[in-house]
């Protein structure tokens, strides 16, 4: 990471950090004062989205249903499949809490980032000790994508929306498979809500 002067904030993002076993110790060794921001979303939706992304690159992969189960008859979920494993947030958070106190971590709701981007980014600005500059007036909702877009990106006169890889239509998944996945994630979600002190409402 580059050296950061007083009054500056240096940021870096990688989706795989949160689920990489070695990351907490390495980041802590670099700087114990690092603030960590993690965007999380409903793990069932996240798994389907993950699958949709892979499917777009490799159309020949097996169905979501067949990858989800180790044994479909008994309903045993295959937790070795990364699309499923990543959503067990409580398990990943345990590794981070060995190196960082929870007060240095902010968990951003992926759902609220879509429904109320300014509100959720207000929490981010507060967490980083910044003045609340980003407000509702900076966003508009793109109906085609199903996501909010920045009205005007920094240094550009054009709006900025998420790239081509975001907002893909998800394949239709067997309802029973979705129900079984919700059942599987529920105890992990409840533990995660407890650990973070925040109910994300995925089990409503």
Q: Please report, in range form, the residues annotated as the binding site for 3'-phosphoadenylyl sulfate.
A: 41, 49, 166-170
Residue list for the binding site: 41, 49, 166-170
CA dihedral over 122, 123, 125, 126, signed as positive or negative? positive
Question: Rounded to 5 degrees, what angle do the CA atoms 73, 203, 113 make?
Answer: 120
Q: Tell me 60's DSSP state.
A: T
CA atoms within 13 A on the CB side of 182: 12
13 φ/ψ angles, rounded to the nearest 5 degrees: -135, 140
| CA dist., res. 153 & res. 157, Å (int) | 7
Q: Is 129 left (phi over 0), alpha (psi -120 to 50) or beta?
A: left
């Amino acid at each position: 990471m580059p050296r950061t002067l007083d009054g500056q904030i240096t940021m870096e993002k990688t989706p795989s950090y949160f689920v990489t076993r070695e990351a907490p110790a390495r980041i802590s060794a670099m700087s114990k004062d690092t603030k960590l921001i993690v965007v999380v979303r409903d793990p069932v939706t996240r798994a389907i989205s993950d699958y949709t992304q892979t499917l777009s690159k490799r159309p020949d992969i097996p169905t979501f249903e067949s990858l989800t189960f180790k044994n479909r008859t008994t309903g045993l979920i295959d937790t070795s499949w990364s699309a499923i494993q990543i959503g067990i947030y409580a398990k990943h958070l345990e590794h981070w809490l060995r190196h960082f106190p929870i007060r240095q971590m902010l968990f951003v709701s992926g759902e609220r980032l879509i429904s109320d981007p300014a509100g959720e980014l207000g929490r981010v600005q507060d967490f980083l000790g910044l003045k609340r500059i980003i407000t509702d007036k900076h966003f508009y909702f793109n109906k085609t994508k199903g996501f909010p877009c920045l009205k005007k990106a920094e240094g550009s006169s054009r709006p900025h929306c998420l790239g081509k890889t975001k907002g893909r239509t998800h394949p239709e998944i067997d309802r029973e498979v979705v129900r079984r996945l919700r059942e599987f994630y529920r105890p992990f979600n409840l533990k995660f809500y407890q650990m973070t002190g925040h109910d994300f409402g995925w089990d409503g």
